[in-house]
A and B are shown apart, each in its own frame.
Chain A
Amino acid sequence: MYEKDKTLLLVATASAIHNNLAVKLLDPSRVAESISVVHGGYINVIPLRTLDTATSQYIPCSSDSAQKYAASVMQVMWCYINYEAVLVVAGSVGLQVFDCDSLELRFSHACKDVPDEREHFARGLAHSPGDYLCVGNNSGVVRLFGTAEDGSLMFIDRKQLHGSPVADLACNKELLASCDDAGNIVLSLITPEEIVQWADISSYGCACTSIKMWKGVLAAGYGSGHIRLFSINDNRREVSLAVEVAAHAKWITALDVAPESGFILSVSEDSFAKVWHVTKKDSLTVTHRFSTQVKDCMLVGGRFLTLSGSVFAVSIYDSNLVQCFRM
């Protein structure tokens, strides 16, 4: 179904963190412009479109030289804030929002809920329409940021949604899903004033590493190698397990959804990248569509590069290569 496509070269190797591949795929584009992969406290940004004049960038998350050495980035996301494309970074420095082109720091927030001498990092990023930005941290707290009248970002609310470090966030309209290291998932509503929790999915015993949401479906990847799909009923505020896939032999490190086709991509430490097809009639069904082994590669990130899911890319721990696959 997919074939090996080009290989992209990073400036420095990918670190072992979940979801270690982000794509810049912003409206109205249907194809990713760039990808980013984290190396310690640095972000490799690689442009994908050959016609672009843009070149590869290697961005430190902190300009402070002492911090630069010790800092680590946990997650990266591109989105629009106030009609401008920004690069959002979560990590040991907290939340940082950079201008996409000039890389000027627009906004930062420590997102910190522990004393100074304790370990701290922000992890989990999501963007909701209306320019809301959600950020999780290792204390299990999720923060909501919005735009002030002058277009700048401002803090709105913080909620202790989890008892363990937040692993990933996903937004679909005003609905926010957050998952944690203990495997719990929480669903909340984003309002202009606050985050309101309305449902939770208790743990299946292993960490939930990556979540995605689209069309009333929540897809979650687990450390146990399982993918679980939950149907969300907005009106009745109900959420129920619809499909459980024993997908991988090792930890699932990233999950992605292609909204136009209903494809799900899962990548794992077991060196496999797999594509699943989700259909929704009376109930949700999942079929296994494609599987490829990236030999001897511990995959740490994977994303579709198109909205249709026709191309995807995977990043590899300790390797400076990103492998692409094309339909």
Chain B
Amino acid sequence: MTYYTLPFLFLNLGGEMMYILDQRLRAQNIAVEKARKVLNDIVRIMYNPRFMEELFKPQEIYNKAALKSLFQDLAHASIMKLNATSMDKLYDLMTMVFKWQVFTVSHPRELILVTLNHMDSTRAMVTDQTIHKQLDSAYFMFIKTYGQMSCGELQRVRYSLLNFMQDVRIRVSLLLRQRLQNADGSFTIPTQFQLFYGSEPPGKIRTYSRDGIPVDISSFYPGGRYTVSTQPCSTELRGVRNTTLGSNIYSGPRLEEEPQDLNYGGQESFRKEINLLVAQLGQQNVPVPPDSFSLELFNLNDSTVPQITTTTEPATDSLIEPSQTTTETNPHAETLSKILAEMQPTIPKDQSEFDLLNLMEELN
């Protein structure tokens, strides 16, 4: 596995998580102040400078379970709580949309732009200037690490990401509806699309003489209609990315207004996934599937009440010791240390590869 895969994984999955949370907070008319606090809190911790420093050190790719628990802790970094089922849904959705993006890029370098799209959108979601500074420094670390990589190296990173998400084939209604995903969970490959700036579309055979002079040129039908982007893509801090991959796919028409009779291969669960999230985020009038659960959302007044709502909740949550983690003067420190407390039980004691988690533990 490539040693430079983790930053891509974390920044992009993090970006996807922000899209979903932002969309759900809006769709349910959560008070602007509360929604803003949730987004700010999560992004602040996601882009914690010491965490970033550790993230960008060359290292083996994360253990899958550890990565998920990291995002679980991030999602709970603020005043919003998700239970195990909704967290699973959230993580599945993040992973599949990112897998689709990595799968679909027409050139390995586009992967950088996908990540920058995620970071740009995250920046637009938060209002706090200190978080903007955190995002800036993360941007510079990212460009320093990947800006000069050859396309061959980036392709290895891309393959490493694809292999990390290999065999994950969850159907996402949003992708299915746009015919970007097939009923078996695989993604579609279009035969009409725009190639990356600087590419040559297929269709020509050029023959050269021994002296290197072109002597013949012939054409063949390439099997599709390919055009080439006429605009270069910018990796500048505020540049034009010139790709839509990595931008917010949830910002279109509101999902709960979509017709309910769409049939995705007879599996209702996929149609429900977004609505389930809606329900879990606390909206009252959305029909809740019978197998769902209650969620204590925006539980501002009593942060010491255990957030366990179902028996399937990870046991780790019960290990939170509120007395240790409450710092009333600094809500950031409070949420951060809460994350750290939650993380501790997930660290396998005998493995040194979880340096990142260990660091978070040290911060405690």
> CB within 8 Å of B: which residues of A?
12-13, 15-17, 39-40, 70, 72, 92, 118-119, 164-165, 167, 180-183, 206-207, 223-226, 231, 240-251, 269-272, 283-288, 291, 293, 295-298, 317-319
Contact = CB atoms under 8 A, between A and B. Distances in A.
A249 B150 contact: no
A210 to B, nearest CB: 12
A164 B150 contact: yes
Given A118-B58, A288-B220, A296-B186, A250 B106 contact: yes
**Majority SS of interface residues in chain B?**
loop
A240 B210 contact: yes
Contact of A318 (B106, B186, B203, B207): B186
A34 to B, nearest CB: 23
Contacts of A92: 1
B282 interface: no
A293 B191 contact: yes
A226 B186 contact: no
Interface of B: 1-3, 58, 60, 103, 106, 108, 150-153, 155-156, 158-159, 162-163, 166-167, 169, 182, 186-189, 191, 193, 195, 199-210, 212, 215-216, 218, 220-224, 226
A246 B202 contact: yes
Contacts of A118: 3, 58
B212 A241 contact: yes
A296 B156 contact: no
Contacts of B218: 287
23 contacts: A12-B167, A13-B166, A40-B163, A40-B166, A72-B1, A164-B152, A165-B153, A181-B156, A183-B152, A206-B151, A225-B200, A226-B200, A243-B205, A245-B204, A246-B203, A246-B204, A249-B222, A251-B155, A283-B210, A291-B222, A293-B191, A298-B189, A318-B167
Given A164-B150, A224-B199, A244 B166 contact: no
Nearest to A270: B189
A288 B205 contact: yes
A39 B166 CA distance: 9
Nearest to A120: B3
A68 to B, nearest CB: 14
B204 A291 contact: no
